[in-house]
Structure 1
Amino acid sequence: MELALVLLVVFIALAFEYINGFHDTANSIATVVATKVLSPGQAVLLAATTNLIGALAGTAVAKTIASGLIDTNVVAVTPVVLICALLGAVIWNLITWWWGLPSSSSHALVGGLSGAALAAAHDNWHAIIWAQGGAHWWGEKGVLPKVVLPMVTSPVAGFILGFLLMGLLFSLMEFLGSRTGRLQKLGRTRFANAFFGKAQLVSASAMGLSHGLNDAQKTMGIIALALAGATASGTLDHVPSWLHFLRIEEDASRQFEIATWIKVLCALIMAAGTAVGGWRIIKTLGHKIVKLHPINGFAAESASASIILTASHFGIPVSTTHNISAAILGVGVAKRANAIRWTIVERMLWAWILTLPITGALAWLMVRAARLLGWAE
């Protein structure tokens, strides 16, 4: 029974990663598809490749998810707790995907973990690490420095950077136009489209790399956490020899090394989700907010990737959704404020605000229900 629960955690975690592909990987390639620099199939292939490279490049975010948000001295993170946390995130992701809203899979997972841990600890709020240790906020553990603060600051930074970069590119194009006399409309000439179309291949690759380095690691952290706990408890002691790869030995679990098979599997599952269901989100980000050209896509992707790569270095699980959306808004405002469809933006903001409390509440209710049914203590 315990082994079945551990395997169920892995399965649901991979389902979450697949659904993450609907949302966040779709976000990472929305602009390059919208500007028609790449076809959807080419963009998915690019995303899969760069996600895989990013997923193999580090484990800082995975460590934050696995050990920096929930105090395991207060509450036991059992397979049932992880299942409820993941289901809370999955349900909300499916709802927002159906509505075509680019909500945050990152915050859905954090909300689910927090709500499930709170219920498992019998509503002891100390089960959640709010802020702990570190000489600077980026070196601290906890929901406040690692999730809530970046949830506000990273989109603001993405908006500002997108706005400034777009303004700089517009100024450069205007300068070149005054010198050559041939550029009639900024960012829409053959020269601009050809140049920034090629440049967007680089910026789109950077988006995929940053997404793999940040988002793909979140599910890796959940799977590694479940397998490390199962190994330590002896649940995997008597598995068949062909399942020995599931074991995470004591030294590895202490340092929290992520097995290569977990990294590769998560990256591939995420790419599959993008290929199957990501186009609802791509339509919202790439077409409904503001009309994009290659120069706009390059600016938005460059700004967003810069923010996410910086956050990944410090182990901060930021939202790809929030950052690329904010960068697109910054680029759109630099173009002209009335180019933005603000009703779409309002719907997105509500999805952002509600993600943490709703996923937390869903996971809390499921743990309470599991306890009533005798499935959890």
Structure 2
Amino acid sequence: MVTSLLVIVVILAIGFDYINGFHDAANSIATIVSTKVLSPFQAVLWAAIFNFAAYFYFTDHKVANTVAKTVVEQYITLHVILAGLVAAITWNLFTWYYGIPSSSSHTLIGGFGGAGMANAMLSGATALSAINAKYVITIISFIVLAPVIGMIISVIITLIIINICRKARPATAEKWFKRLQLVSSAALSFAHGGNDAQKVMGIIYVAIVASKVIAPGAPMPEWIPLVCYSAISIGTMTGGWRIVKTMGSRITKVTPLEGVAAETAGAFTLGLTEHFAIPVSTTHTITGSIIGVGLTKRVSAVRWGVTINLIWAWILTIPVSAVLAALVYLVIHLFNK
């Protein structure tokens, strides 16, 4: 039975997906904007097209399945999902306002898990009994691993490109790399859409299962991926200019060559993790990749003060979202006694 609460939850989930789009637009457009390959409007339109194109390729929904399993099924209710979404949206808007490239993915997972833990405690169980440790430990480990993998790959790609093009005329090389940035940013946007849209798909799926609209284990209704990919694409088109500035210039100055290397490394990392059904942060991945291209010049080329602030935001995202979601769930629980 479709209830009004389920409708509210689905609308909030789609709203989160939209916010994810403009919050994370910087991930795939920051370098092509900072290198003046495309104007900001052209860049977000380019990214949005490839965000949606991922709908036609990522049809196995493996990442969505992982997100859906982060909380033990018996502790998943519509109120839990509602609290998690409210917390995730709040933290996303807060970090967007202050130009902090935090992870929308980890915000959502932290909120979902925090509300589930609150439900477990109110049921007389321990908080951690609500969490599927296998999935959550993997997700948390990739807070560190995803940017490191992106950084290593970007260093390798940058060094390969520099060696191949060492005899090329600088003006000619820059012209070609600006063209190649269109390809690398498209690949990153494609991978971003495939990875990030699936997280909300997993949340909507567990919501309709919790409402008994479909049985557990039933195939995902086709409207869910269509709506989620559309929402994240439209969100990307609205841009996230505050974060673009941080990603495009404050971490390190990026040239077209380095933009190609960073975006290619980010796309490769996201594609690899999606293959293994691991929900990772696009933000963390591309940040690590940008740091990698900076390191190929010299260690001081990376603005470590800015980078350390970003790392603190990464560390805090899951616990802050979890605590906020738990508090929201407690309020909802009090009003529904």
Question: Could you tell me the TM-score, scaled by structure 1's length?
Answer: 0.84
Structure 2 equivalent of residue 71 of structure 1: 72
* RMSD over equivalenced CA pairs, Å: 1.7
Matches within 5 A, 1:272-287: 272-287=234-249
CA distance in 2, matches of 1:33, 1:225: 38
Choose from 116, 141, 145 the match for 1:153: 145
* 1:29 and 1:207 in contact (8 A); partners too: no
What's the CA shift for 1:292? Answer: 1.3
1:26-47 CA distance string (max 9 Å, x none): 2122212222212222222222
1:76-96 CA distance string (max 9 Å, x none): x11111010011111111111
> Sequence identity of aligned pairs in percent?
42
Residues 50-59 or 342-351, more deviating? 50-59
Matches within 5 A, 1:143-222: 143-145=136-138, 147-174=139-166, 176-177=167-168, 183=169, 189-222=170-203
Q: Tell whether 2:94 aligns with 1:98.
A: no
CA distance in 1, matches of 2:66, 2:25: 21
CA distance in 2, matches of 1:270, 1:203: 19
Structure 2 equivalent of residue 266 of structure 1: 228
Residues 49-58 or 205-214, more deviating? 49-58
Choose from 126, 130, 136 the match for 2:129: 126
* 2:84 and 2:112 in contact (8 A); partners too: yes
What's the CA shift for 1:336? Answer: 2.2
Structure 1 equivalent of residue 206 of structure 2: 225
1:186-214 CA distance string (max 9 Å, x none): xxx22111111121111111101111110
Q: Please tell me the residue identity of whatever aligns with 1:35.
A: T
1:315-342 CA distance string (max 9 Å, x none): 1100000000000000011122222222
CA distance in 2, matches of 1:348, 1:192: 32
Q: Tell whether 2:83 aligns with 1:81.
A: no
Structure 1 equivalent of residue 17 of structure 2: 17
Q: Please tell me the residue identity of whatever aligns with 1:121.
A: A
Matches within 5 A, 1:280-359: 280-359=242-321
Structure 1 equivalent of residue 106 of structure 2: 107
* 1:44 and 1:271 in contact (8 A); partners too: no
- SS of 1:107's equivalent in the other structure is helix
Q: Tell whether 2:238 aligns with 1:257.
A: no
* 2:193 and 2:232 in contact (8 A); partners too: no
What's the CA shift for 1:153? Answer: 1.1
What's the CA shift for 1:274? Answer: 2.6
CA distance in 1, matches of 2:264, 2:208: 36
Residues 90-99 or 271-280, more deviating? 271-280
What's the CA shift for 1:258? Answer: 4.4
Q: Please tell me the residue identity of whatever aligns with 2:264.
A: S
1:36-73 CA distance string (max 9 Å, x none): 2122222222222211121342211111111x211113
CA distance in 2, matches of 1:124, 1:283: 39
CA distance in 1, matches of 2:242, 2:293: 21
CA distance in 2, matches of 1:11, 1:345: 34
* 1:104 and 1:322 in contact (8 A); partners too: yes
After TM superposition, where is structure 1 displaced by more than 3 Å over at least 4 residues in a row?
none
Structure 2 equivalent of residue 33 of structure 1: 33
CA distance in 2, matches of 1:366, 1:271: 29
* 1:17 and 1:266 in contact (8 A); partners too: yes
What's the CA shift for 1:158? Answer: 0.7
Query: Over alpha carbons, which structure has the higher Rg?
Result: 1
Q: Tell whether 2:50 aligns with 1:50.
A: yes
CA distance in 1, matches of 2:89, 2:267: 25
Structure 2 unmatched ranges of 5 or more: none
1:208-245 CA distance string (max 9 Å, x none): 1111110011111111221233244xxxxxxxxxxxxx
* 2:44 and 2:239 in contact (8 A); partners too: no
Number of positions where the alignment pairs a residue of Structure 1 with one of Structure 2: 331
* 1:200 and 1:297 in contact (8 A); partners too: yes
Structure 2 equivalent of residue 241 of structure 1: none
